[in-house]
Amino acid sequence: MKLCVPDYILSLKPYVAGKPLEELEREFGIKGAVKLASNENPLGPSPMALEAIRRSAENLHRYPNSGSYDLCHHLARQLNIKCENIVLGNGSDDLIAMLARVLLQPGDEAVLPEPSFLFYEIVIQSSGAVPVGIPLKSETTDLDGMLERMGPKTRLVFVNNPHNPTGSLITKQALDAFVEALPANIVLVIDEAYIEFVKDSRCPNSIDYLNSGKTVVGLRTFSKAYGLAGLRIGYGLMPAYFAELLHRVRQPFNVNALAQAAAIAALEDQDFLEKTVRLVNDEMAFMYNALDELDIHYCRSSANFLLIQLNKKADHVFEDLLRQGVIVRSMSSYGYPDCIRVSVGQHHENVRFLAALGKVT
């Protein structure tokens, strides 16, 4: 059948997710594999969130609250902003898709660091718009290069802070200057998926730009530090006039009832969050030491993952590690043919990864 599918859809490369544990165990016939590929919480979900899910399940015959009312108010209180500045989504991926739907038409341009989170590019291209990638400079987002490349067709700019996959940070000083110089008709998205892990006091917060006079959107997620990746819930922080536009294109019930209940409980479970962040910070230090001893290069990271450079093809290392029951991410599709990205796991998982890596390098 001859369908009229636009070229920009036909040329899309589908997103490749981290390999699921059960898939590896099925394919290789092994048990007890370790997944360090998708930057998930090594401690699992918050116990309080699990309890909230059990309670909320009683009402699954009802539609969820369309605007995630209770959750929105919890967040607003905790962040000291207004509910009208928050839009909830089915993961922050949902927000990224809404942003493109609101802003991008065929022929428009969106500027982003290269490499960065691969879903940005998919969403930009699905709207018929053109992704304009600006290479990193010394593993850091090249904000000046991004500014230079903005033109009359630019509608949207993405940065992620900390940056995925390098873990590098944009400082507040640098971001302040960038927002100041940003043309007022261009929307800046600051994806803060890993912000909870950052220790560096120079790190900016997207909330500080809510009243900057520019349209700045912060993206946050419950998928990483809060341990709820499987539930799919994230949110955007933005000026009220812009939130109103996102609500127009949002699916009416985009955040399911279990996710809303679990997220409220997760926000209240500060102990779990602190435990998670402490574990990641401690284990990150352990990883640095171990990699130094092996004389393996890596980028220092403000997030819960590490970009590691090897003197071998990453795709081969990825396969070798799989055979040893360790799932990491090859960065070849990100333009780093000799790098892997590994999430920081529990201590025994990191030890297992290092031992497996030692055997293949």
Ligand X SMILES: *Cc1c(COP(=O)(O)O)cnc(C)c1O
Q: Residue 313: what residue type?
A: K
| 191 part of the interface to ligand X, by CB under 6 A | yes
Q: Do 341 and 328 meet the contact criterion of CB atoms below 8 Å apart?
A: yes
Structure tokens at 38: 């998708």
Residue identified by tokens 């360090």 is 36
To ligand X, the closest distance from the beta carbon of 38 in angstroms equals 7
To ligand X, the closest distance from the beta carbon of 99 in angstroms equals 12
| 192 part of the interface to ligand X, by CB under 6 A | no
To ligand X, the closest distance from the beta carbon of 91 in angstroms equals 3
| 190 part of the interface to ligand X, by CB under 6 A | no
Give the nearer residue to ligand X in terms of CB position, either 118 or 177: 118
Per CB under 6 A, the list member of 64, 91, 115, 204 interacting with ligand X is 91
Torsion angle, CA of 344/347/350/351, rounded to 10 degrees? 170
To ligand X, the closest distance from the beta carbon of 92 in angstroms equals 4
Structure tokens at 40: 């998930």
To ligand X, the closest distance from the beta carbon of 1 in angstroms equals 33
From the CB of residue 160, how many other CB atoms can be counted at a distance below 10 Å? 25
| 229 part of the interface to ligand X, by CB under 6 A | yes
Structure tokens at 201: 């006091």
The stretch among 54-62, 202-210, 217-225, 350-358 that binds ligand X (CB under 6 A) is 217-225
Residues sharing a CB contact under 8 Å with residue 150, sequence separation 6 or more, in sequence order: 111, 157, 182, 183, 186
Give the x/- contact pattern for ligand X in 16-55, rule: CB under 6 A: -----------------------x----------------
To ligand X, the closest distance from the beta carbon of 3 in angstroms equals 29
| 223 part of the interface to ligand X, by CB under 6 A | yes
Please state, in angstroms and rounded to a whole number, the distance separating the CA atoms of residues 161 and 220: 11
Per CB under 6 A, the list member of 160, 166, 215, 330 interacting with ligand X is 160
Give the nearer residue to ligand X in terms of CB position, either 91 or 325: 91
Q: Do 302 and 200 meet the contact criterion of CB atoms below 8 Å apart?
A: yes
From the CB of residue 280, how many other CB atoms can be counted at a distance below 10 Å? 26
| 235 part of the interface to ligand X, by CB under 6 A | no
| 68 part of the interface to ligand X, by CB under 6 A | no
Give the nearer residue to ligand X in terms of CB position, either 162 or 239: 162
Q: Three-state SS for 224?
A: coil
| 221 part of the interface to ligand X, by CB under 6 A | yes
Distances (CA, A) of 163 to 79, 107, 134, 280, 283: 22, 27, 13, 17, 19
Strands 326-327 and 305-309, by their bridges, are unpaired
| 226 part of the interface to ligand X, by CB under 6 A | no
Give the residues lining the site for ligand X (CB under 6 A): 39, 91-93, 117, 160, 164, 191, 193, 221, 223-224, 229, 234
